[in-house]
Amino acid sequence: MTWSARAISPIKRTSIAAGIAGAALLSAVIGDARADWPERQITFIACFPPGGGTDIAARLVAIPLGEMLKVPVIVENRGGAGGNIGISAAKRAKPDGYTFLVCSSAFVVNPSLYANPPYDPKDFAPVMVLGASPNALVTPAQSEFKTLGDLIAKAKPNPGKLNWTSPGAGTTPYLAGELLQERADIKMVHIPFQGAGPALTAALGGQVDMYTAALGSLQPMIDAGKLRGLAVTATKRWTDLPNLPTLEEQGIHDAASDTFQGIFAPAGTPQPVIDRMVKELTAILARPDIRDRFAKSGLPVTAEPPDAFRARIAREIPMYKQIVDKAGLKIQ
């Protein structure tokens, strides 16, 4: 049976009109609520412990962002499992614009590296890449190894006798170390720590033979003579560390990599909220004082907006999968 508009009684037409008006009012209320965002504290979940590149990047923008939004922006460190613990926590957060994930390139590595990753990249909406920097390979200042060649010469005839560490098994510094071993035909034992902070402490204390991490977290220690740089994973030498040779210069070919630090929103976060975040972050990252602080931390500002960030993710996930598969790496 079909019904025409004339077949609907006046009372029913009034009810339908009221329903439409109510829906319009609800939509307006929701729109106003989003327009009023934020109304309370915002949390950045940094997926690595304090002291590493992710933590540094999060804190560099948290304070100025809070000033611009007129609400506190706090950094909550959730380290462990190569970043997966923090990523999982952010995934479970309500997508209301009050919780964001700050993560490194581990985000694009973990889906291939882990046998059962606790997230899908589609669980998040990319907001902005704050910056990207190459990785560096260092050794304790008191180490017998003066150059990368010294370390390779000792490791090659002694497989499994030297050890090394990284910020976590799901990070690009970890892959940089694995790539070094593959390219140089050496085998060292990886010592796992729950993030860059504890790993850095071990390196400073001479508990490991080599440490790989984002250059941003290592440059101050190299400058202070507390760690000795062996190589940078960039395609050319780093401007602020002109004496640190590249891997390519030392005969380690096709091993260049970088580590980005970016902000993500749980999928479903209202687009107006993301747009506002992009607007404020773009303004913050354009400030000379903020750019200078990022540069001094070894993380040059890139300020890649959502579209560029999305393209980076689409490009790097298969790239790292190829590296992981070729090296035979898989974490259960």
Rounded Cα distance between 58 and 198, Å, is 18
Q: What DSSP character marks residue 331?
A: B
Rounded Cα distance between 114 and 205, Å, is 30
Q: What DSSP character marks residue 130?
A: E
192 pLDDT higher than 90: no
Predicted pLDDT at 328: 82
> Residue 11's pLDDT band (boundaries 50, 70, 90)?
very low
Q: What DSSP character marks residue 249?
A: G
170 pLDDT higher than 90: no
Predicted pLDDT at 30: 44
**CA distances, 331 to each of 174, 199, 285 (Å):** 13, 19, 36
Nearest to 233 by CA among 216, 151, 145: 216
Nearest to 153 by CA among 186, 177, 188, 191: 186
Q: Which amino acid is at 241?
A: L
Q: How far apart are the first and last CA of the chain?
A: 59
Q: Which helix (H) or strand (E) holds 126?
A: strand 124-140
Q: What is the mean pLDDT of residues 73-93?
A: 96
278 pLDDT higher than 70: yes
Predicted pLDDT at 8: 47
Considering only 64-68, 254-258, 278-282, which range has the smallest mean pLDDT?
254-258
Predicted pLDDT at 24: 47
178 pLDDT higher than 60: yes
21 pLDDT higher than 80: no
Predicted pLDDT at 117: 94
Mean pLDDT of the chain: 89
Rounded Cα distance between 243 and 163, Å, is 25
Q: What is the pTM of this model?
A: 0.73
What is the DSSP code string of 168-234? -TTSHHHHHHHHHHHHHT---EEE--SSHHHHHHHHHTT-SSEEEEEHHHHHHHHHTTSEEEEEE-S
Q: Which helix (H) or strand (E) holds 301?
A: strand 301-304
Q: Dump pLDDT digits (tens) for 103-136.
A: 999 999 999 999 999 999 999 999 999 999 899 9
CA 69-295-310 angle, to 5 degrees, is 60
